[in-house]
A and B are shown apart, each in its own frame.
Chain A
Amino acid sequence: SQQGEEDPQALSIQEGENATMNCSYKTSINNLQWYRQNSGRGLVHLILIRSNEREKHSGRLRVTLDTSKKSSSLLITASRAADTASYFCAEDLSGSARQLTFGSGTQLTVLP
């Protein structure tokens, strides 16, 4: 089964609105990472949150982590058309940083 499942699978919002994506994972983690993928391109690292952190900010991005529920959320505030992309969470299932496992992603569309 897929680890790190994102929810929803697809999200469509208007420019200026906030977008929230959720990720559930199944194992104990050292950290959780979020990546973005623009159409036809490779993934780009956005932010990492450690297991002892509950919230982290980077520009318009806000990530939260709830280890008791094994879930994380990514909030993009004041979204722009350029934020249109797929967003993935990734966890280290191996515990040795050798195998990073990705979920199937959330496709975000920001309408101008």
Chain B
Amino acid sequence: NAGVTQTPKFQVLKTGQSMTLQCAQDMNHEYMSWYRQDPGMGLRLIHYSVGAGITDQGEVPNGYNVSRSTTEDFPLRLLSAAPSQTSVYFCASRRDLSSRAPLHFGNGTRLTVT
């Protein structure tokens, strides 16, 4: 199993450009989520999904869109990038909504918006 795979690893965007961060998991996990990690602020939840066709907002959803058309994939879209979106983005999945199921993380996408 590859686990959670994120692409690309690095990306530089100009303000106003759009892009999609890809996330795929091969563990048949129901739950998937996106976090951003900024220095000194820990991880903040952007969006999450509890199954194909179901998405919901986390703590910091503005400026981001998600969709979940399949169990495996959960892409994160930046519609019009802003410098404030410079961050490291992590995709994470868990088996189900059992509170004891741990999160499995990808290795992140480092995004710089100039």
Please give the residue numbers on chain A whose beta carbons come within 8 Å of chain B beta carbons, in ascending order.
2, 4, 30-31, 33, 35, 40-45, 48, 50, 88, 90, 92, 96-105
Contacts and interface: CB of A to CB of B under 8 A. Distances in A.
Contacts of A98: 31, 48, 50, 56, 97
B45 A41 contact: no
Interface centre among B59, B92, B103 (most CB of A within 10 A): B103
A23 B10 CA distance: 32
Contacts of A96: 97
B106 A42 contact: yes
B103 A99 contact: no
Contact of B4 (A2, A30, A42, A102): A42
B108 A33 contact: no
Given A33-B102, A99-B58, A43 B42 contact: no
A42 B58 contact: no
6 contacts: A40-B107, A40-B108, A42-B92, A42-B108, A92-B99, A102-B42
A30 B101 CA distance: 12
B98 interface: yes
Nearest to A48: B100
Contact of B45 (A45, A100, A104): A100
